[in-house]
């Protein structure tokens, strides 16, 4: 019988077959959100009645989608910073919006379904750590945190610097070249249901590292003020969903998540209140060419 490694003062060389029960029994973890002991039932009804559509509606009420039916939600929410699609909400109004969407995303996810949120921190005077706020909001809606990915958007300064004092300690400003992907799950840290994945060994090893280097997308080319790249969505969809899952984007924008889902043999569903962006998303999704599946990979 293979002996499992255990948490020790000096760490362990490998993670395979690791027994971490002693670590999670420590007082640090008392009172935190934990997995449900019972396994919920995923909805297996015909998703063709409501999926593969973009809805011009608010994602605070996604009544088109049955409960327990979505395998993955991936989105980049509005940051409330003055983009064309942003309303000038107060801090409390913004938190209420994100919380309301989180509540309905939780409802529609399958047990073990994941919610991945692309978010950046804001400002400098003061600095607003939105990613910390999003943990607070989603914990309050019973999501379990699974970790976070640093999306590194650039290698370095490229001759640019942030506003502030030049070469002086008076008021240097940090220039962000990264954003966050916060990974949450519903009820369980693993999917109770079974499905087919499409990651080869090298891609799995690379995608499970906490830093992803993915170039940004051109807003002008896409026609949206803040698009994230299709490659970022591809990585999320391949890592956190099964083939034939339904993938949801509650702030669909230019439709990037739905494009990746369709390309990777998943169904998709998106929400946006903007008629213009719903039309843009539908146009971009319609242009996706779906490759055939060969030898279980894509």
Whether 245 and 29 have beta carbons less than 8 Å apart is answered as no
In a domain, 1, yes or no: no
* Tokens (6 digits) for 40: 């919920």
DSSP 3-state of 119 = strand
* Tokens (6 digits) for 68: 């327990």
- Provide the H-helix boundaries in 35-127: 91-108
Strand partners, 232: none
In a domain, 75, yes or no: yes
In a domain, 261, yes or no: yes
- Taking the alpha carbons at both ends of the chain, their separation in whole angstroms is 36
pLDDT per residue as tens, the chain (298 positions): 556 666 666 566 665 666 777 776 777 777 776 777 677 787 777 899 999 999 999 999 999 999 999 999 999 998 775 555 557 788 899 999 999 999 999 999 999 999 999 999 887 888 888 999 999 999 999 999 999 999 998 775 555 666 677 778 888 888 888 999 999 999 999 999 999 998 899 999 999 999 999 987 665 666 655 567 899 999 999 999 999 999 999 999 999 999 999 999 999 999 999 999 999 999 999 999 888 875 545 5
In a domain, 46, yes or no: no
| 83 φ, ψ (degrees, to nearest 5) | -65, 165
How far is Cα of residue 238 from the mean position of the Cα atoms in its chain?
12
Structurally, how many domains does the chain consist of?
Answer: 1
Structural domain boundaries enclosing 214: 62-155+173-286
Q: What CATH number does the domain containing 89 carry? A: 3.40.50.150
In a domain, 198, yes or no: yes
């Amino acid at each position: 019988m293979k002996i499992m490694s255990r948490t020790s003062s000096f760490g362990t060389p490998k993670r395979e077959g690791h027994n971490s029960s002693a670590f999670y029994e420590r007082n640090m973890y008392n009172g935190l959100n934990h997995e449900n002991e019972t396994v919920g039932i995923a909805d297996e009804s015909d998703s063709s009645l409501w999926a593969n559509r973009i809805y011009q509606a608010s994602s605070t009420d996604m009544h088109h989608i049955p409960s327990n039916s979505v395998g993955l939600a991936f989105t980049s929410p509005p940051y409330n910073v003055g983009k064309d699609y942003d309303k000038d909400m107060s801090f409390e109004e913004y938190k209420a919006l994100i919380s309301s969407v989180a509540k309905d995303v939780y409802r529609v996810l399958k047990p073990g379904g994941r919610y991945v949120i692309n978010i950046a921190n804001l400002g400098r005077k003061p600095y607003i750590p939105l990613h910390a706020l999003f943990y607070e909001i989603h914990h309050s809606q019973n999501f379990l945190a699974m970790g976070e990915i640093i999306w590194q958007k650039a290698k370095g300064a490229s001759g640019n610097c942030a506003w502030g004092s030049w070469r002086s300690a008076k008021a240097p400003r940090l220039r962000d070249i990264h954003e966050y992907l916060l990974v949450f799950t519903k009820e369980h840290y693993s999917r109770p249901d079974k499905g087919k994945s499409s990651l080869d060994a090298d891609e799995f090893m690379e995608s499970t590292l906490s830093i992803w280097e993915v170039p940004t997308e051109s807003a002008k080319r896409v026609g949206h003020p803040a698009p994230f790249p299709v490659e970022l969505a591809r990585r999320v969809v391949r890592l956190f969903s099964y083939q034939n899952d339904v993938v949801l984007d509650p702030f669909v924008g230019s439709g990037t998540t739905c494009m990746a889902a369709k390309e990777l043999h998943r169904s998709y569903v998106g929400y946006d209140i903007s008629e213009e962006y719903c039309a843009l998303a539908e146009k971009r999704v319609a242009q996706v060419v779906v490759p055939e599946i060969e030898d279980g990979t894509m």
